[in-house]
Amino acid sequence: MSAYTTPSGDRLDPSSTPAPRHVAIIMDGNGRWARARGKDRLEGHWAGYRTLKRIVYAADELGIEYLTVYGFSSENWKRPDIEVSGLMRLMLSAMRAEIEELIANGIRVRVIGRLDGLPQDLRDEFQAAMVRTAPNGRMTFTLAINYGGRHEIVDAVRSLALSVADGSLAPSEIEETTIQERLYAPETPDPDLLIRTAGEMRLSNYLLWQSAYAELWVTPTLWPDFSREDLSEALAEFGRRTRRFGAVVE
């Protein structure tokens, strides 16, 4: 892991900066980026993919252990068919193009969301990426695809209801940890820092359960323009925050 100096001279040394273990990102603004350039929305998504590639390796170098990005929400099916199918194709080619480099760099890939709602070829590609990178020990890179925070909670509740119905779980045994254990990635710690690009001040159904105490950081920068320096700035700001978790901190 290397120390990194931002243009403003901020030196981010992962060993001395209280780095967040888990950073979650709502990568928003691809459409606005494209529109500002007179381009098709899909070109914005391709530019967003190039940004994501840079940010994955930057995050790893900055000492982040878990990076979780919102790639396609359970509500994004409402978009025009041409955009939805273009996004599915983009994700397939991107995963095919990137998998060897991700493996070579020791990145572990996870995909969370209702994968059974995705085209079969994309699902297979995601499954293969998860299996091939499972032994990797550096950063865990999680893609939230066909993901909705409410769907995730519904799926956890269904799974708990099945256990109650088959007699293996008593309702009185259900605690926060019992629910947490049925989420899509139970071994992943809650996000410490939640970044949203493109200025919108909302969660858009992202990691609803897990973000209970995440520090929020919103930037007007559109996702395709988001840089390693922007990520460093978010981390520096995170280092200045006081997290209280409801307690009194002097």
Of 223, 239, 234, which Cα lies nearest the Cα of 70? 223
Output 29 or 63, the one with its CB closest to ligand IPE. 29
Instruction: Considering only residues 7 through 66, tell me which ones interact with Mg ion, judged by CB under 5 A.
Output: 28
Question: What's the closest the beta carbon of residue 17 comes to ligand IPE, in angstroms?
Answer: 27
Query: How far apart are alpha carbons 225 and 51 in whole angstroms?
Result: 7
Query: How far apart are alpha carbons 73 and 146 in whole angstroms?
Result: 5
Does 37 bind ligand IPE (CB under 6 A)? Our answer is no
Place of tokens 């259900």: 174
Question: What's the closest the beta carbon of residue 25 comes to ligand IPE, in angstroms?
Answer: 8
Does 113 bind ligand IPE (CB under 6 A)? Our answer is no
Asked about 121 being catalytic, the answer comes back as no
Query: How far apart are alpha carbons 102 and 134 in whole angstroms?
Result: 11
SS (H, E, C) 123-147: HHHHHHHHHHHCCCCCCEEEEEEEE
Of 69, 54, 87, 17, which Cα lies nearest the Cα of 207? 69
Contact with ligand IPE (CB under 6 A) among 17, 30, 74, 140: 30
Name the binder of 181 from ligand IPE, Mg ion, none, CB < 5-8 A by kind: none
Interface mask (CB under 6 A) for ligand IPE, residues 49-78, using x and -? ---------------------xxxx--x--
Of 188, 120, 179, which Cα lies nearest the Cα of 154? 179
Contact with ligand IPE (CB under 6 A) among 4, 19, 23, 31: 31
Contact with ligand IPE (CB under 6 A) among 163, 204, 211, 221: 204
Q: Which residues of the chain form contacts with ligand IPE (CB under 6 A)?
A: 26-32, 70-73, 76, 87, 198, 200, 202, 204
Enzyme catalytic residues: 28, 76
